[in-house]
A = this chain, B = another copy of it.
Amino acid sequence: MAVTLKDVATAAGVSRSTASRALSGSGLISEETRAAVENAARGLGYRPNRTASALRSRQTHLIGLVMNNLINASFHTIADVVQRRASAEGYQVLLCITDADPAKERSVLRMLSEHNVDGVVVIGTGRNSDLVDELMGAGTGAVNVIRGTEGGRAPSVLASDREGAHAATRRLLELGHTRIGFVGGLASANSGRERFAGYEQALREHGLETDPALVERGPFTPAFGAEGTRALLDRRPDVTALFAANHEAVFGVLPTLVSRGIRLPDDLSLICYEDISWLRSWQPPVTVVDNGADELGRLCFDLLLRQMRESPGPGPGPGRVYRVGADLVERSSCAPPRTSPLPAPPPPPAGGTRG
């Protein structure tokens, strides 16, 4: 039904091989035959069959993008960047969502191998390095992002969670804050652990000890952000600055501050992790740590592309680790500590009346 290379060859009066070489640009072809073939192809509306091409040439121009979910902002930023870079280089992206379920991850990696992808980007998963190594053994490229594998052959592109948290905390200390609250993720997550470590390190370097009463750690949810903030403010009303260590929590932290009538930066200073777009349009614009999600995406695809272009694959040694820096983006949510107490906690939910 569809126009095949054979049709083009016939129309141009050459053999299939010649037509193939003319269109792929490889091999020796006279300028006139090339033109003839190209005209014939255009005239017939020829579309190369990539499946057939992939079968023979062992290049599918497909890459797999394996991630826990599409909701997390860093994840879909990376997905976005990888997709754009890939398509600019003639690769298509197979989107795979695993819900952080190791069994799904394994089945997805098997699937990708059956589809003969040329490369794999694995976001935020330090697991299954055995399957990834197996893929690499078969000549497939692979890169880990956000989380690396221990001892796997694939290179890793990691964020600088500890450094970012350290910079944020130090900035607050420099402004004169000494009672800095931490609202962030559990130690069970790598990023939660690292960011807390950065926070503690900055305090230590400033001669302060971590005060457990100033620390709220819990799941990566807005609900926890709200709850944790409330608890922290109630327990330590003398807190003068807050470090919100992940953007999911921020969705809970900010509304809670608002509902208590706490104004930034006069009543409280706030720094958030990850540069979510709406933190820019917040009143006032919120100072954030940009974890470099764009750069993570760019770098990891470039590493993958390099692997895919080199013939066989890298040596058997463990994959190199690359770091992408985190930047403190100063906006207007930080100031020196306030001198008077925080506004009173909110009045009990009164029905529709106002003072």
The complex places the Cα of A203 from the Cα of B83 at a distance, in Å, of 44
* Across-interface contacts of A282 in B (CB, < 8 A): 255
- CB of A94 within 8 Å of the partner chain: yes
- CB of A71 within 8 Å of the partner chain: yes
* Stretch from A111-119, A148-156, A177-185 that touches the partner: A111-119
Partner of A267 from the list B263, B265, B354 (CB cut-off 8 Å) is: B354
Residue of A48, A114, A265 with most chain B CB atoms under a 10 A cut-off? A114
- CB of A141 within 8 Å of the partner chain: no
Partner of A277 from the list B76, B113, B251, B284 (CB cut-off 8 Å) is: B251
Q: Which size class do A's interface residues fall under? A: 35 or more
Chain A positions 9 through 35: 1 when the CB is less than 8 Å from some CB of chain B, otherwise 0: 000000000000000000000000000
Chain A contacts with B in 47-69, Cβ cutoff 8 A: 47-52, 54-55, 60, 62, 65, 69
* Across-interface contacts of A44 in B (CB, < 8 A): none
* Across-interface contacts of A225 in B (CB, < 8 A): 281
Q: Give chain A's interface residues, CB within 8 Å of chain B.
A: 1-2, 47-52, 54-55, 60, 62, 65, 69-71, 76, 79-80, 83-84, 87, 92-97, 108, 110-111, 113-116, 138, 222-223, 225-226, 251-252, 255-256, 258-259, 263, 265-267, 277-278, 280-284, 335-336, 338, 340, 352-354
